[in-house]
Structure 1
Amino acid sequence: MKNSTPAGSAPFVEGIVNRLSPFSVEDTLARLEEAIHSRNLILFAHIDHGKEADKVGLIMPQTHVLIFGNPKAGTPLMIASPLIALDLPLKVLVWQDGDKRVWVSSTSATYMKARYGFPEELLGNIAGADTMIEQTLQG
């Protein structure tokens, strides 16, 4: 399927959910980090791609990746479908487009289920991340 970018929206990539954030990049990151911690998830890493680009003399809009999860939820998925370890722990991208809008992008749980074919009863192990992101972006 061809990627397209309708005016006023984030690029389409199969399996990726793009959500417009009503908050600044900094506030969006702070809210997501708080949501991760409040749900007893582990924030494994925060990658600031813009900062790293700056170190090598390149300029890019703000682009951050939070890597998070819970081994109790992720391990059964990896046992059922080892290749899902390529997408676990979960990741959420917070980025700013050329019009200064802030987006939050992540891979949908249902897409990962279809991609890796793990049992339906394990979908709940990662589906809560979609809900967490949606709730975080609500005022």
Structure 2
Amino acid sequence: MNANNGIISQSSQYSVPATIDRFAAILQAKGITIFARIDQQAEAEKVGLSLPPTQLLLFGNPKAGTPLMVAEPTIALDLPLKVLAWEANDGKVWVSYNDPNYLKQRFSLSDDLMKNIAIVAPLIHQALV
């Protein structure tokens, strides 16, 4: 796992679609809303461009996100939460997401509000094992 500019990236042993499928299944089992799944490779192909497998999942829980937006409305730029699965040039698959601690600092969130977004890391870990 590595962090860069507030982004945490972890390697996945699964393909991009399988990685997102696994994560989506965990979210659904926990009653977390999936707002969108964007296959960016497919969208690139529609306009005649090439992109390695890349999928973005937008998810969240209005009960958790709303208090964050009440405290700091501009956090809506980063909500709902997002997870990106992408294939590097060497064929390795990565999962990237905003570091909750970066969001805490960026938006001056209290420790109490941090609990609303800190769940992302353990859920990703669960999907990658």
TM value normalised by structure 2: 0.96
Give the counterpart letter for 2:54 in structure 1: T
1:27: Cα distance to partner?
1.4
1:123 is aligned with what amino acid? M
Distance, in Å, in 1 between the alignment partners of 2:85 and 2:16 is: 7
The one-letter amino acid of 1:95's match is W
Q: 1:42, 1:70 within 8 Å by CA — same for their partners in 2?
A: yes
- Per the alignment, residue 57 of structure 1 pairs with 48
Partner residue in 1 for 2:32: 41
1:76 matches 2:70: no
Structure 1: unaligned runs, 5 residues or longer = 1-8
1:27 to 18, 34, 44: 18
Deviations 1:33-89 (A, max 9, x none): 101101110000001111010000000101110000000000000001111000000
Contact 1:29 1:94 in 2 (8 A): yes
Which runs of at least 4 in structure 1 moved beyond 4 Å after TM superposition? Answer: none
How many Å separate the matches in 2 of 1:41 and 1:118? 22
Q: Secondary structure at the match of 1:127?
A: coil
CA RMSD after TM alignment: 1.3
SS in 2 for 1:64: strand
Q: Which has the higher contact order (CA 8 A, sep 6+)?
A: 2
- The residue aligned with 1:14 is 5
- Residue number among 100, 103, 106 corresponding to 1:112 in the alignment: 103
Unaligned runs of 5+ in 2: none
How many angstroms apart in 2 are the aligned matches of 1:36 and 1:66? 11
Matched AA of 2:100: A
The answer on whether the counterparts of 2:17 and 2:55 sit within 8 Å (CA) in structure 1 is: no
Greater fraction of residues in strand? 2
- 1-side partners of 2:124 and 2:20: how far apart? 11
Alpha-carbon shift at residue 22 of structure 1 (Å): 1.0
Aligned length: 129
